[in-house]
């Protein structure tokens, strides 16, 4: 099963939780045992799994990424001016894989799946591929 999701981001840097969308799509497949692969086809965005209980975590992660990869740097050479977005995307990675067991995503109690925007606001997409087995 393959599914394409559209997402609209509203800030330059943001982490949008997509766990519910992924859970619902996995349930619709009827797959009881397998893998869910969530993939982002953008070079300035990514997919992450992290805490979803305390919203301050998202704030702190984005703040620290800005400190490590500042938006402006005198040695950046990329003409589009979004080098920091590319670096953040490399850090988060383009995909995550989650085990499906007994029809449910096997996430930890405090884990959620996030679409990480680093060059917004934009219209984006991400893909879900569920593999039975």
DSSP state of 74: T
pLDDT tens string 39-54 = 999 999 999 999 999 9
pLDDT tens string 23-35 = 999 999 999 999 9
- Give me the number of domains the chain comprises: 1
Distance CA 95, CA 104 (A): 19
What's the whole-number mean pLDDT along residues 7-33? 98
Q: Please report, for the domain that includes residue 53, its CATH number.
A: 2.60.120.460
pLDDT tens string 85-131 = 999 999 999 999 999 999 999 999 999 999 999 999 999 999 999 99
pLDDT number for residue 79: 86
Cis, bond preceding 121 (omega within 30 deg of 0)? yes
CB contact set of 133 (below 8 Å; sequence gap of 6+): 33, 34, 35
Range of the domain at 93: 2-132
Where residue 81 falls among pLDDT bands split at 50, 70, 90?
confident
Q: Exposure pattern of 36-71 as b/e (b: 16+ CB <10 Å)?
A: bbbbbebebbbbbbbbbeeeeebeebbeebeeebee
C-alpha dihedral, 53 to 66 to 46 to 84, nearest 10°: 180
* DSSP one-letter string for 9-65: --SSSEEEE-HHHHHHHHHHHT--EEEEEEE---TTEEEEEEE-S-THHHHHHHHHH
């Amino acid at each position: 099963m393959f599914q394409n999701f559209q997402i609209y981001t509203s800030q330059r840097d943001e982490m949008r939780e997509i766990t519910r969308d992924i859970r619902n799509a996995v349930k619709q497949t009827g797959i009881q045992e397998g893998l869910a692969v969530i993939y982002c086809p953008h070079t300035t965005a990514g997919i992450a799994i992290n805490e979803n209980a305390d919203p301050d975590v998202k704030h702190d992660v984005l703040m620290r990424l800005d400190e490590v990869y500042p938006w402006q740097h005198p040695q950046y050479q990329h003409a589009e001016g979004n080098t920091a977005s590319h670096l953040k995307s490399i850090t988060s990675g383009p995909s995550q894989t989650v085990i499906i067991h007994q029809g449910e995503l096997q996430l930890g109690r405090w884990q959620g799946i996030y679409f990480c925007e680093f060059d917004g606001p934009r219209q984006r997409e991400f893909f879900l591929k569920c593999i039975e087995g």
